[in-house]
Amino acid sequence: MKKRVASITVALVALGLAPAAGADDIRIGHMADYSGPTSDVGVPYGHGVADALAWVNSQGGVAGTALDVETIDYGYKAPRAIGQYQRWTSRNSVVAIEGWGTADTEALITFVARDEIPYVSASYSAALTDPKGQGPRSHHGSPYNFFYGPSYSDAVRALLQWAHQDWTARGGDGRPGFVHMGANHPYPNAPKAAGEEYAAELGFDVTPSIQFALTPGDYTAQCLTLKNSGADYAYLANTAGSNISLLRACETVGVDVQFMSNVWGMDGNAMKAAGVAADGVVFPVRTASVWGDDVPGMATVRAISAVSDPSGTAYRPVHYLAGVCSAMLLVDGLTAAAAAGEVSGPAIRSAIYGLGTFAPGALEGVCAPVTFTPDDHRGLVDIPIYRSRVAGPTDAGSVDELIAGGTMGLDRVGVISLERKAEWLGW
């Protein structure tokens, strides 16, 4: 199905900073969680997407055509996301969508395939990486799903490789223990089976998983269970908000394990909120650098950040940068499709394939290079691993000030490069 180029409106148009909106503008849907249980990371990520698309308009749009971005806060409720998708498509209006959660993104796989709408999500479920459904454990193809970053499954595999190396370097005795911790929800559960299987393959003793909710709470009971579990490495599958509560509770009861988290599980804001309880958490980062690094693309990211922070004083966590890179991935596809003469769903998808290996937005040093092919949507398999460092109290000063003063830091400990194993495609 060919999708027409749709209409668009952005606030910058009214300020004379972008091409004037008209009937032929490119309409983009943006699904965000600004108020639901994952809003702790949804807000910075969503602002990164929104700022990047607005900045593109301030630079002349895509091939001189404005982007009309409609942002919807769906509160992390999958039925709302599905309803909004139906409203967008019933008007045959959006040409592509920037999405958010795992439950809603997975529920929409067959719809976006049918409607031929590129859906660039903030869910990194491995179920979205197999465009033709060829993987031995794939349940379906996901030909129009893309995301910027490693899949949740590949990220936990990278962490397990790091943990295996760490155990050896420590001179660990016997088989290390591994436990998956998170809510009973499609997002934390997405990499659970893949992670536990790979842990066993690497020689870990896999202990029973421990559940804790996506929202902050008292997780003393879970920490006592963890303390007695025999686990040496604990993978936190939730977002940072609930992880903060868990880390504090585990520090209080004296848990001694190496915590690892998924890409949403730790950032500078979480380090400040959790204090020394967050010291030493190891986690994957989607981007090639973090806020403030001296790399060529950071000047452009700061210009994008100025869209919503003209003062230039806001600290931008790793999720904001990932949102920028996600938006620019889509913009690169739109730009290449426009250059080829057609801005439609199939044309955008083909254009992304035609880009080969590329750093979204030409943001070298910020956006890690990604590769998408008609057979494989695992865009990023070279995964930077970072460790949080909290050396003292974090209640005085902003995140920027605490980092500048050395109280906090994000230390890069290496990059894990995964094979594109056929048996891991889609799982």
pLDDT tens digits for the chain (427 residues)?
333 333 233 333 333 344 444 558 999 999 999 999 999 999 999 999 999 999 999 999 999 999 999 999 999 999 999 999 999 998 878 999 999 999 999 999 999 999 999 999 999 999 999 999 999 999 899 999 999 999 999 999 999 999 999 999 999 989 999 999 999 999 999 999 999 999 999 999 999 999 999 999 999 999 999 999 999 999 999 999 999 999 999 999 999 999 999 999 999 999 999 999 999 999 999 999 999 999 999 999 999 999 999 999 999 999 999 999 999 999 999 999 999 999 999 999 999 999 999 999 999 999 999 999 999 999 999 999 999 999 999 999 999 999 999 999 999 999 999 999 999 999 9
Phi, psi of 259 (to 5 degrees): -80, 140
Give the pLDDT score at 336.
98
Q: What is the pLDDT of residue 90?
A: 87
- The predicted structure's pLDDT at residue 23: 54
Q: Are the C-beta atoms of residues 221 and 245 closer than 8 Å to each other?
A: no
Say what the pLDDT of residue 22 is. Answer: 53
Residue 347 dihedral angles phi and psi, to the nearest 5°: -70, -40
List helix spans (H) across 21-93.
Answer: 39-58, 78-90
Closest CA to 266 of 276, 251, 281: 281
CATH number of 11-151+294-371: 3.40.50.2300
- What is the Cα–Cα distance from 424 to 18, expressed in whole angstroms? 43
Tokens of 187: 């997002």
Give the span between the Cα atoms of 67 and 331, in whole angstroms: 10
Q: E strands, 119-257, where?
A: 119-121, 145-147, 177-182, 205-206, 210-211, 233-236
Contact between residue 231 and residue 195 where contact means Cβ atoms under 8 Å apart = no
CATH of 153-290+381-424, one of 1.10.3470.10, 3.40.50.2300, 3.20.20.80, 2.120.10.30: 3.40.50.2300
For CATH 3.40.50.2300, the residue range(s) in the chain are 11-151+294-371, 153-290+381-424
Residue 250 is predicted with a pLDDT of: 98
Predicted confidence (pLDDT) per residue in 142-198, tens digit: 999 999 999 999 999 999 999 999 999 999 989 999 999 999 999 999 999 999 999
The β-bridge partners of 414 are 385
